[in-house]
Amino acid sequence: MKKLLLLLLLSLGLLSSANAETPYRQELAGLYCEKDNRDLSFITFEGTNKRISTGKCQFGDYQIEFYQHVGLVHRCYNQNAFCGIKSDRKGITDDLPVIVKDINGNVVATNIDSEFDAPVIELFRVPTSFPYMVLRTNIGGARSLAGLHFFTADPSFKQVASIEDVSGWRDDGKYVYSNEHGEWLVDKYITVATPHGSALANWLHFWVAYKFVNGRLERADEHINANLKVYSESELKDIDEEALQIRALIDSQTYDKWDMMNLLFSGRSDVPLSGKFFWRFTDFVYEGQEDLAWQFFERAIPDSYDMLSGDTVSMYATKSTMRETMKNWIEKYFPLGVAKD
């Protein structure tokens, strides 16, 4: 009885949310979406699997249909009607959360995410003048990553590009935008290991812009270079003051080498200078200001670092080995998103 009541409440919650779903339109892409006219009633799909049809999109001459299972509706962002969810029951077969049909009602596509086979596929809202339909796949995992897949219906339905990863924390329109030159850009979420890897258990996350060129995505170097941060004199003065504070701390020989390494590279909210060395150094590199990064390095790390007592990991054993470690790290990962030989 309790289980039946729970299903009823879920059904009512789903119905209320989907009824509130407003139509969605992208005129340039030929895309128009509205919630299912059957008010999310239970339907029989291919004679075996009972599902809920939650929304449909007219995409040129094609129809995109989204299907959900009532007990899983919470997995869609804000109970989005334009979202398909695979069943988590092992006995369910032909579990297709999204179906694409042609003008004659024939199914022309069912697996738009063959690489990851994501359990959740939903419409991703973008600027209305964007020329492609975008579907978002929830890849999941500890870092909550997602992928964006771009489709056209002209002259036929096909995927023109995809990009992984973007942040799994849903924010419609954030990752797809245009610049002053009219170029359409997509921000890719790039994760980079720190030089010390698991020694301090840190990962870095950066946004890197990609642009559409003849229906494919490539790194938007001109846009990136035109939008690099320009540091003001006051900002550089404040950063230099931090470098001098770190330098003074090393010169004082107050910490042993292990504690100093942790202060330089890890972040602790209770220690004012904790992590600021690596944070500032990395920001300069990410912003294309490698010369400033090395100036900051020399300003913050004195030769007296080598005289600190105790041991630390070999890659930071001395100032010269630390410099070499950082240099190799930059060569391996930066510029971000550029293939390395």
Task: Specify the pLDDT at position 341.
Answer: 54
Distance of alpha carbon 250 from alpha carbon 246, whole angstroms: 6
Task: Specify the pLDDT at position 243.
Answer: 96
- Residue 98's beta-bridge partner residues? 66
Taking the CB of residue 127, how many other CB atoms lie within 10 A of it? 12
Residue-wise burial string across 54-86, b where 16 or more C-beta atoms lie within 10 A, e elsewhere: bbbbebbebbbbbbbbbbbbebbbebbbbbbbb
**Helix pair 290-300, 233-251: axis angle to 10 deg:** 30
Per-residue pLDDT of the chain (341 residues; tens, 9 = 90+): 434 433 433 444 443 443 455 789 999 999 999 876 544 444 444 444 456 777 899 999 999 998 876 555 445 665 577 888 777 665 555 567 888 999 999 998 876 655 556 778 888 889 989 999 999 887 655 445 678 899 999 999 999 988 877 765 555 557 888 999 999 998 887 888 888 765 445 678 888 899 988 878 899 999 999 999 999 999 999 999 999 999 999 999 988 999 898 889 886 666 778 889 999 999 999 998 999 999 999 999 999 999 999 988 899 999 999 999 999 999 998 988 776 65
pTM: 0.75
Distance of alpha carbon 286 from alpha carbon 208, whole angstroms: 10
Contact call for residues 168 and 139 (beta carbons, < 8 A): yes
Residue-wise burial string across 278-307, b where 16 or more C-beta atoms lie within 10 A, e elsewhere: bebbbbbbbbbbeebbbbbbeebbeeebee
Is the peptide bond between 102 and the residue preceding it cis, with omega within 30 degrees of 0?
no
Task: Specify the pLDDT at position 193.
Answer: 84
- Helix (H) / strand (E) element for 101: namely strand 98-101
- Assigned token pair, 51: 């599902």
Distance of alpha carbon 122 from alpha carbon 138, whole angstroms: 9
Distance of alpha carbon 228 from alpha carbon 250, whole angstroms: 32
Residues 6+ apart with CB under 8 A from 257: 305, 308, 309, 310, 311, 312, 316, 317
Task: Specify the pLDDT at position 170.
Answer: 52
Q: How far is CA 98 from CA 21, 31, 67, 235, 308, in A?
A: 18, 16, 6, 50, 61
